[in-house]
Chains A and B, each alone.
Chain A
């Protein structure tokens, strides 16, 4: 089945630093989404991307839908302690009812 390769698996950074994480797939996706999950809670949508090449920002977060439709990255600028959490990329396959395939997550730790 389709799989997403998300990297890095974890990151330990200093407050104020920029962060970058990405996802790649061997298959094409129609939609790429980025979620953040805090412990014991459901994922919260950060950014949704619908068109190849699309670059979208949400505050300090920027994400891009790769031209090949097989990859996406998420950047966080000037990280702050509340950015701590697990970030998941997710892709929606063509023809699906809306269900998503998730990457394995990037655990972000921010040192004040």
Chain B
């Protein structure tokens, strides 16, 4: 069954608004979650590592003030795209591991379209 739940699956917003994407671990506690971004016909690129109770770690070139990550509980991480612009339109996918030795499982992704 599903390990990770991501919501919403699709969102359309106007330029300048902010959008929040939720990622929940199902039936286990996730101290670390990962946020990826995928452009059409491209591979997944790691944006940031979300750590419960501490600041997220961002990959080079990813604006932390643009992509706010909050990991306030052991089962929920949120990614907020602030002041969205059309170039932020993309497929955002979260992932996590159910245990230390388990492989990474992904949510179903969120298709963001900024008009």
Residues of A within 8 A of B (CB): 31, 33, 35, 40-45, 48, 88, 90, 92, 97-105
Contacts and interface: CB of A to CB of B under 8 A. Distances in A.
Contacts of A98: 32, 34, 97, 104
A31 B103 contact: yes
A17 B16 CA distance: 50
B107 A88 contact: no
Interface string B70-111: 000000000000000000000001010100000111111101
Contact of B43 (A41, A42, A92, A102): A102
Given A40-B111, A42-B93, A43-B93, A97 B49 contact: yes
Interface of B: 4, 6, 32, 34, 42-46, 49, 93, 95, 97, 103-109, 111
Given A97-B32, A104-B42, A48 B111 contact: no
A88 B4 CA distance: 19
